[in-house]
């Protein structure tokens, strides 16, 4: 068992499965197992309170996110795992491109540039097969890529899917090994002052969306209709609202590149040099 296996489960919100695997491999003794036992109790208590309607969707999601983050931190810090398995070397470096579909043109331009420099790109428009689960595709692409290039823009910072991708990258500890590369296509977004104001606006907008989705869920439940599509969207929206400040902080603290406007060629040259270094 490796850290990557456990972190992959956590990144795909399979927290119970991650804890069960730890117990199955390590038993119920040891420093990590003792910590996981306490988290397991919190996890089951949170699930039971939600089933009994003693907590609302947002409070449930906040606690679930805290448990997942605590488990992730324990796993990363623990010395009870095998070393991370090295990725199989290939003839080309591979890059997963994380972007908002509103920035598709920029994503395709980046893909073309990387291809011209013999770097393989993984992007949903060409790599995602029909019928393939989107969340599984994101997780697999991040785990199997040498680098993750995240297009940073107004649109991407408001995208729950991009937020999920960035959170997954940070969860599997890619940022600390230097393979998370934020690339700005909106120059104004690079301003710290703008980022603070923009974050407040997005979190307010997401809070309103959470209220709307919660109302829709209650209405459907009252009519006895299924809510699977709404609960997935609600969870992603709550995650975006709760994680946005952390995501912005991590982007600002990471090696980042300006590829906006006339900076594209020089910026992408810097990206290629980093990938090939």
The CATH number of whichever domain residue 272 belongs to comes to: 3.40.50.10140
**What is the pLDDT, as a whole number, of residue 214?**
92
Task: Give the integer Cα–Cα distance in Å for 195 and 225.
Answer: 40
Residue pair 169/149 in contact by the 8 Å Cβ criterion: no
- The answer to whether position 87 is within a domain reads no
First to last CA, the chain: 30
Give the domain-ending residue among 77, 101, 133: 77
Same domain flag for 145 and 276: yes
Number of domains in the chain: 2
Whether 86 is in a domain gets the answer no
Section 152-180 average pLDDT: 70
What residues have CB less than 8 Å from 25, skipping those under 6 apart? 1
The answer as to whether 270 is a domain residue is yes
Say if residue 167 is in the same domain as residue 239: yes
pLDDT of 55 over the 80 cut: yes
Owning domain of residue 57: 3-77
In a domain, 83, yes or no: no
Q: Rounded to an integer, what distance in angstroms lies between the CA atom of residue 150 and that of residue 248? A: 12
**Residue 84: inside a domain, yes or no?**
no
- Do 71 and 97 lie in one domain? The reply is no
Name the pTM for this structure: 0.60
Same domain, 268 and 180: yes
pLDDT band at 199 (very low <50, low <70, confident <90, very high): confident
């Amino acid at each position: 068992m490796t850290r990557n296996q456990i972190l992959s489960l956590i990144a795909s919100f399979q927290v119970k499965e991650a804890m069960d695997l730890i117990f199955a491999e390590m038993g119920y003794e040891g420093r990590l197992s003792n910590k996981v036992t306490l988290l397991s109790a919190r996890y089951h208590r949170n699930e039971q309170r939600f089933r009994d309607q003693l907590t609302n969707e947002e409070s449930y999601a906040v606690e679930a996110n805290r448990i997942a983050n605590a488990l992730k931190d324990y796993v990363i810090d623990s010395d009870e795992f095998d070393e991370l398995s090295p990725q199989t070397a290939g003839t080309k470096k591979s890059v997963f491109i994380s972007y908002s579909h509103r920035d598709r043109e920029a994503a395709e331009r980046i893909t073309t540039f990387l291809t011209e420099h013999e770097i393989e790109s993984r992007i949903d428009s060409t790599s995602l097969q029909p019928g393939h689960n989107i969340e599984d595709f994101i997780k697999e692409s991040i785990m199997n890529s040498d680098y993750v290039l995240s297009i940073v823009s107004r649109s991407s910072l408001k995208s729950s899917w991009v937020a999920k991708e960035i959170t997954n990258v940070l969860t599997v500890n890619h940022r600390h090994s230097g393979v998370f590369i934020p690339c700005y296509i909106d120059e104004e977004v690079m301003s710290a002052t703008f980022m603070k104001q923009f974050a407040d606006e997005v979190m307010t907008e997401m809070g309103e969306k959470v209220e709307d989705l919660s109302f829709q869920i209650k209405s459907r439940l009252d009519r006895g209709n299924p809510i699977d599509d709404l609960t997935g969207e609600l969870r992603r929206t709550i995650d975006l609202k709760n994680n946005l400040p952390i995501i912005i902080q991590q982007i600002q603290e990471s090696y980042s590149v300006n590829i906006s406007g006339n900076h594209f060629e020089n910026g992408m040259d810097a990206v290629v040099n980093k990938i090939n270094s």
